[in-house]
A and B are shown apart, each in its own frame.
Chain A
């Protein structure tokens, strides 16, 4: 992490001071540079900002570092850490939570609807896939497909019902559905195996923790791609418009209900896929896992991650997943141990907060702090670094709050 900051700080000196006539480029300029460089009437035909050779090298290095952290460290290749199987398992869960976070982000961030029963969509996906693989002896890929279809169908149905009312009622319907799914649907012994749970074996070829982790990572990449294309498509722009003001959007000929419904279906679809991945990650899945607390955890990680920020949501989800499993404290304590400090000891000794309760207490406080003080969440904090990594200038003012405020006038 320190490498990232050092290189980014050094950047304004290294990068050549090209003027940037495009709107995007001008926004990326730091305040000082814009005062010095931008002429009164910016010339039209100049090229947008491109990093110089050093800038490219620095960005490439940080990208490489990220890839190393995500792929090589769990694989124990070229890595000083000796990660065990459980560590890789925790990383897999973090990736799956990232997929769930992106799924919830479509509803919460793009459509401005809150789902308090997302754990049910994930759970339905999980048991569908487990049932198809274990009981029907069909392939894992078919299971994922049906899980996705079912998740999308259920979410779309609930959405269609609650669209008759204002946005807040979707929260209520999903809340009731979550309780119903947890206690009734996921409690049917013939499908879910009752108290003992349901076996969900890993697909052939992906039976080791590491291979399964790579598989989940690939799915996350696909979901990120879909999400990115969604925001660039007509549907994405329509969603943005109707979230800001549905009446104005409708005036411009946007079919508000249809587009919100698309968001519901897409979100449920991705949640179903995440559920299938979660089932085959745990290998035995029980209905009690999908309680209301999980739904709140999903909302928490998405909001803290930062609505409408893909990178932020994934980081937030991974953060909460690792916090839940207790791996995050381990990860932080390892480097801190070198200077003789342990966060676990700090929580347990100084505050008197046992390690297993850290996630329960710290998570919600982070949530409240995020929405009251930093509504952009993690996504807002990392926006300058992200912009820089994407080949633009390092701008400490990137990701301003104006860009991330939610305005849900329907509600």
Chain B
């Protein structure tokens, strides 16, 4: 039993660390859903694209790490803004399903471009910010890179909380709740929409740039590649009722841990692809028992 307890502790540790990436993605998804009312399937692709840009800058053009990192982030933000301008804005009167297909189209375009432009590079790896790691008392190896990711998540969560109390943040909330009234009192709904997509893309970019160094990556790395964070990110957002920011963070961590339950040898030796199976069952359970979300706080009324 001691062996199982240790295995469980290790799984939960890696679950929390993976979960912080899911939380970053989920924050972007919730932000966009609140602003545009759409499930953004390109959210994870912002991250992969930023990662590819940083990789190109660092490894192919020989820029320094911080510059390449900022460049990757800038590319992700640019992609977010372009998505808003070229797809979301023209479709503002279309149905939600159409806009959803549009964001999927953005993701697929990005994936196609990644495949094409990097098809000559077979294995892509990004150096870590720090190669150091340490072993916890219960035997889980924790890399400093993963800890940095968790730290960035904490900082981002606090910044977002502060932002939504600032005048700009209040403008964002006003614009999404009542766009016409917001326009009347002088809030540019258009600019708010751009801002939201920019922030969401930056969050996605951070997720990509921080996870890229953990594994070798290919096109669609963060969507359905080696570090598939899109679906877990969505689940975290559902747990947050698609509204609550702290809920998205908590949801991401929970989803990360739930997914790691699948890696326990009790399950993984009997069922293939346990991570996906556990997540699917978990999503069904949430939707059946508490479809309005779990970590929703006071924000949800209906």
A residues touching B (Cβ–Cβ < 8 Å)? 108, 112-114, 116, 161-162, 164-165, 167-169, 171-173, 175-177, 179-180, 182-184, 187-189, 291-293, 296, 299-300, 303, 353-354, 357, 360-365, 367-368, 371-372, 375, 405-409, 411
Contact = CB atoms under 8 A, between A and B. Distances in A.
Interface of B: 37, 39, 86-87, 90-91, 94-98, 100-102, 104-109, 111-113, 115-116, 119, 220, 223-224, 228, 231, 234-235, 238, 271-277, 279-280, 283-284, 287-288, 291
A164 B292 CA distance: 10
B112 A176 contact: no
Contacts of A171: 39, 97, 100
A177 B96 CA distance: 21
A187 B268 CA distance: 12
Contacts of B107: 296
Main secondary structure of the interface of B (DSSP, over half): helix
Contacts of B94: 371, 375, 405-406
B86 A372 contact: yes
A184 B272 contact: yes
Given A171-B100, A371-B91, A407-B95, A361 B113 contact: yes
B174 to A, nearest CB: 22
Given A162-B287, A364-B112, A180 B102 contact: no
B116 A372 contact: no
A101 B235 CA distance: 28
A175 B291 CA distance: 17
A167 B96 contact: yes
Nearest to B279: A176
B66 to A, nearest CB: 31
Contacts of B274: 184
A349 to B, nearest CB: 15
B283 A176 contact: yes
B280 A300 contact: no
A168 B100 contact: yes
List the 9 shortest-distance A-B pairs measured between CB atoms, nearest first: A183-B273, A411-B96, A364-B108, A187-B272, A180-B280, A360-B112, A408-B95, A361-B112, A364-B109
B108 A300 contact: yes
Contacts of B280: 176-177, 179-180, 184
Nearest to A168: B39
A175 to B, nearest CB: 6
B96 A184 contact: no
A175 B234 contact: yes
A363 B115 CA distance: 13
B97 to A, nearest CB: 5
Contacts of A357: 112, 115-116, 119
B87 A368 contact: yes
Nearest to B274: A184
Given A357-B115, A361-B116, A172 B39 contact: yes
A368 B231 contact: no
Contact of B276 (A108, A173, A183, A299): A183
B272 A183 contact: yes
Nearest to A351: B116
Contact of A180 (B100, B112, B276, B287): B276
A300 B107 CA distance: 12
A113 to B, nearest CB: 7
Given A113-B97, A176-B284, A180-B276, 8 more contacts: A114-B101, A172-B283, A179-B276, A188-B272, A361-B109, A364-B108, A406-B95, A408-B95
Main secondary structure of the interface of A (DSSP, over half): helix
Contact of A372 (B37, B91, B235): B91
A112 B95 contact: yes
A406 B272 contact: no
Contacts of A173: 283-284, 287
A236 B228 CA distance: 38
A172 B293 CA distance: 14
B197 to A, nearest CB: 16
A299 B104 contact: yes
Contacts of A187: 272-273
Nearest to A369: B105
B287 A411 contact: no
B108 A164 contact: no
A368 B109 contact: yes
B275 A353 contact: no
B87 A372 contact: yes
A46 to B, nearest CB: 40
Contact of B98 (A116, A176, A188, A375): A375
A300 B109 CA distance: 11
A303 B231 contact: no
Contacts of A371: 87, 91, 94, 98, 101-102, 105
Given A184-B271, A300-B108, A406 B98 contact: yes
A179 B224 CA distance: 9
A360 B115 contact: yes
B235 A368 contact: no
Given A161-B284, A296-B108, A183 B231 contact: no
A372 B85 CA distance: 11
Contacts of A114: 97, 100-101
A361 B94 CA distance: 24
Interface centre among B39, B108, B275, B291 (most CB of A within 10 A): B108
Contacts of B275: 183
A303 B287 contact: no
Interface centre among B97, B112, B116 (most CB of A within 10 A): B97
A162 B283 CA distance: 11
B234 A172 contact: yes
11 contacts: A162-B287, A169-B238, A173-B284, A175-B234, A182-B273, A183-B276, A293-B224, A361-B115, A367-B104, A406-B97, A411-B97
Nearest to B37: A411
B284 A411 contact: no
A372 B109 CA distance: 15
A126 to B, nearest CB: 17
A112 B97 CA distance: 7
B231 A179 contact: yes
Given A114-B101, A300-B105, A368-B102, A184 B95 contact: no
